[in-house]
Structure 1
Amino acid sequence: MRRWLSVACAAFVALPLGAGIAQAEEPVEQQDRVGVKVSEALAGQSSPEDFLARASRNDMSAQAVGNNTIAGRLWNDFNNDGYRGDSESGLSTRVVLLGEVNGVPTETETYSQGNGAYAFYNLPAGMYQVWVDVKPVSTWLIPTRISVGGDRQRDSDMVGPVALSMPVHFVDDGPAQRGVDGGFITSEYYYGYSVKNSASAWCLDQESPQGFPTTTVGVHHCNNGINQVWDVKWDFTEHLGIVRFENFSSDYCLDQEYPNGLQTPRVGAYPCNGGTNQNWVLHHNELYGEPALSINQRSGYCLDQEAPRGTPTTVLGAYLCNGGQNQKWYLND
């Protein structure tokens, strides 16, 4: 199973037809993927504690008028394959459910049992993310490989190194149930993710000819280069489900370009500045191939590999959401 970052908006727009068709991968030297120390990666991220500071403890319990459930299993992924084997032990630790109910930040918490099982019940309509606080166990426990194995009961749904799930939405008070599981490995290093397009299986790529990074971001055949590796950094300062994609090679952020404040369809990589045009909103629904919306927070437009007449090009843009496969992405590590 792959973790999808997909788009399901109702509007449609014709895509530009002038972009060149890619014939080969970007001409850069192939490099081994390079990790960063977990402590350094966490130091550069907004923390779920920032959200908890705005949420009143037990606030969710006070509003618990629904019949929805989020439940799952946490485990020690000893062989680092992203799949919960029968011999792999459960992980007992603090599990926090972050929520937004009627625009109000809420939180509640529990502890997973010895077999790693946990559950949150009686949830009303709203958006939620599961945070697994592994610090009481080990500062070096980070999520294993994401969404592999094809079994939703046995693969991992956590994005590292913060160990946060994709957003889960309940549109009404239920009853409905969602599963959020998490495998964990012991590692001093975090390696980020490639971001692949659903239509082409090509990778999001900060173009770096001869090893020199540019501000251009394209979509190229995957080559394991560090310029195709992205850190998914959650932002908890306003709402749930907001991320920045930061390139491992340059430390630049994926950015819908707004020269002089004027919106364009261009998407590049620029120094991270906290602007909303560098924020991307995700919406997770595992019932349909685990889709999530990936929409620029400032424009409301979707990340798009331009594909005139269905033929993929190397050009990346931000366009009105149309539900096309070229606007769907998934994380792969």
Structure 2
Amino acid sequence: MRRVWLFLLATLLSLAPLTLVTGTAHAATVTIPNGTQFTDTTGAVVHAHGGGVIKVGSYYYWFGENRNEDNSFRYVSAYRSTDLKTWEFRRHVLTQASDPELASANIERPKVMYNSTTGKFVMWMHKELATDYTQARAAVAVSDTVDGDYTWQGSFRPLGHMSRDITVYTDDDGTGYMISAARENRDLHIYRLSPDYRTVETRVQLLWPGQLREAPALFKRNGVYFLLTSGATGWRPNQQMYATASSVTGTWSDLKLVGDSTGYGSQTTFVLPVQGTAGTEYLYMGDRWGNSFNQNVNASKYVWLPLEFPTDTTMTMDWFAQVGVDTAAGKVDGVGGPWETVTARHSNKCLDVPSRSQDDGTQITQYTCNGGMNQAWWFKDMGSGYVQVVARHSGKCLDVANNSTADGNPIIQWTCGTGSNQQWQLQDAGDGWLRLVSRRSGKCLDVLDKSTADGAKLIQWGCGTGTNQQFKRGA
């Protein structure tokens, strides 16, 4: 019997590490909300707009634009994280005081690469004057450490060409490339860098002349190079497109569409490979520029989405209100859904966020059902018999404005939180219809004045038997 107990004990001990590993891997998944600003570990807003990420050791380092209120250059700021959600501010690695040339400059899209031969970290960026965009230069700064002070090396037009939106890429053999928009964004150039990555040696590609492409992001997957870009429409978001090639210097495919017609309200910034024990998946990083909604760059929000690859040379990007990331496993997944319409019984119209607004405070209306993402909702279980109702296009929640308990109070979308004014009970109204009852007020979701018109507003009202308080969920 003693031998049996010893055998059982040894078996349990041998299983313990597996249990611990499984628990740790599960705990590593974090959920990142989309279309929001991020805050660092001190609660300060993260300003890493137009940025890029480099992994050093166990940390991901994120560099980006941190601007003045007039949109001119203030800092390139650096943050680090192990999970891509919890960001620690490190320092402003480049400032107006770093060099006289930066005192009246605009610095955009900083990207950092590591040179294994020199042991230096090299930052490339787009440089303009603070007052206008006549310079169209590339610029370089160098540091001994990834998050140290970067020493300004100067700005120039590579091989005499204009250089605007910019990114960099380090190939498997250590060859460095810089990609930038040229000729007033009409062309896209790929340059091979010098061995120390501090200047360009030669232009190896002139891509899609005259097609107005900018915001490049280059990455490699399964031996295939992908180059993702946006159109050039100022601050206004537009259709993202991509091409593929078997080598950087080889023949690139025609451009193909990816995502929706506005890049889900964002512009390409970077594509980050997230490599872990289960493989490598790819995270689209985009900026929803503040200037596109009448604010400034520092009001910009981040759009991060999983990229999917139906074949080795095709790519898709879908919208999710949240993204789940497990950096230990190398997993990037959309979070949310199933997505459903919510149809009013009296009008047969759908709950709708007008004009696909992303803004907090937009009042919900009814509108003819059309399959838009602003008519798609996720009933997110909150426990205790309540749900949040989350809009797919914005990631915001159905909310009783101002936490009110009054009849007639507007129903709006608002950034999801823990308030009872964003929690709803689904009550059976018979024949497959439901009433949505606010946990905060005990009142029902109601179409104002029993209107059947497009654009009729949603309010809360004391619950009754009216069909303007009855709704059906549908695929």
TM-score normalized by structure 2?
Answer: 0.27
Larger RCO: 1 or 2 (CA < 8 Å, sep 6+): 1
- Which has the higher Rg, Structure 1 or Structure 2? 2
